[in-house]
Structure formats: C-alpha cells, structure tokens
Amino acid sequence: MTRPIDSFDAVLFDLDGVLTPTAEIHRAAWKRTFDDFLRSRTGNDFDPFTIDDYLRYVDGKPRYDGVRSFLESRGISLPEGDPDDDPAFDTIAAVGNAKNAAFTDVLDEGGVDPYPGSIRLLDHLEARGTAVAVVSSSANADAVLEAAGLRARFDVLIDGVVARERRLDGKPAPDTYLAGASDLGVGAADAVVVEDAISGVQAGTAGGFGLVVGVDREGTARQMRAAGADVVVEDLVELLP
C-alpha cells in the first residue's frame, strides 16, 4: 500500500508543469527554436516540431540533451560547441542557447501564475513543517520561481545551473534529485518526488525515493506508471489528506 505524503520528511518538486504552467512556455520556446532551425536548413518545406516531439525527446531533460535528442530523431548531427556559443544554429549549445533566449522572450510576454492546487499543497506541507525543494532541469528555474512569487518558499533549488556546477547528470539519471534530498538532509527513502515528465519519474524511481508521484497534465498517466510512478494525479490538490 502506498504511504501517504504526510508520512515523509521531505517533498522534492519538479517545477515546470508541476508548480507552474511553464511547461507550456518551454514547449512554445522549443517549437519556435526548432521550427526556425529546420526552416534555416530546408526553407519552408519542413516537418514542424510537434507536441509528440516535445514529450518524446525534450520534456524534462537538460536543455542540450533535449537539443541533441530531437536532432538525432531527425537524422541531424551537430558539433557540441560551448555553453557560451552565440544563439545560432551551428552547434548543439548554440541551438540550446537560442531556445533559452526564446523562453525568456515568451516568459516576459506572458508572465506565469502557479497552479492553485500546487499552492494548496505547499501551504499544507509548510504548516506541517515538511522540508521542500525544487529540482528542475531548467537553467531558468530561479527566474520562474521569482516570477511566480514562489522563490522564498524553497531554501533548496537544484536547477540546470547547479547541476552544471556540480557536474550532476540530468534526468532520467537520479543525481539531481539525490542532491536535492542530500541538501535537505534526508535520505531518498524518506522523501517524495513529484514530476510531470517521464524522464523525471524515471529519475525518482532510479533514485530509490520512497514515493514517486506523476502529475498527468498531458495524458501520459499510462507511461508514467510504466516508468515507475507509484501514484498519478491530475492536480496536486489530490495529494492532500
């Protein structure tokens, strides 16, 4: 029988699609970037980037891994490049940097509000004294948390910047979640992972976390369970006792 969330010492949240609807912003930024990239190679006669592409090759992964994965699916190979490459289309890093710039533009255009159900769960956990952290592949996690008014709620943030500094492998490897649990001072078995991406569910499962919760906002419940999710919900309010 699955233990209730209140029986754990800590909860580690993915950000995009779990606490905030920024998965939609990321998807829009990826589409803008990849469609521009494909158009630059073949003109207007190209197969555009789709939602299925996002879920299969990009969702939940570190940015450059997502670029590499999608381009490989289209039979395209680019040199890796360097993280400081100008946003362009001649290296993996450059395409990733172009996506980052597109994300910032889309976020500035529309802002972001957290999911009400996620706020209710955070309020509940705070009242109980449960430790919480954000573990995100995004290098923009800090800015998104600030924009959503959530940054002060989390003393521990493991994001794409921290992962690069600590040389942590990204999801589906468990390294970033294990680092988040360690920074909170808890073991994986005493902590919960809450994820909306298949790669994140795989990371929580691989890390031996006591409870892995999948958040199904894209109709991926079956795939989440197959990846190891113990519980799948459509909104975090469902986790309240």
What pLDDT sits at residue 1? 60
pLDDT in single tens digits along all 241 residues of the chain: 688 999 999 999 999 899 999 878 888 899 999 999 999 988 888 999 999 999 899 988 889 999 999 999 999 999 999 988 988 889 999 999 999 898 888 788 777 899 999 999 999 999 999 999 999 998 889 989 988 999 999 999 999 999 999 999 999 999 999 999 999 999 999 999 999 999 999 999 999 999 999 999 888 999 999 999 999 999 999 999 8
Tokens of 154: 């989390």
Whole-angstrom Cα distance, residue 133 to residue 185? 11
Count how many domains the chain has.
2
101 and 128 share one domain: no
Residue-wise pLDDT for 143-164, tens only, equals 899 889 999 999 999 999 999 9
What pLDDT sits at residue 108? 80
| Pair type for strands 156-158 and 191-195 | unpaired
What pLDDT sits at residue 114? 95
At residue 38's C-alpha, the angle toward residues 33 and 40, to 5°, is 95
188 and 159 share one domain: yes
Residue 168's domain comprises 5-21+113-239
151 and 187 share one domain: yes
What pLDDT sits at residue 205? 98
Q: Catalytic residue numbers? A: 14, 16
Tokens of 198: 């298949």
Q: Among 94, 110, 126, give the residue marking a domain's end.
A: 110
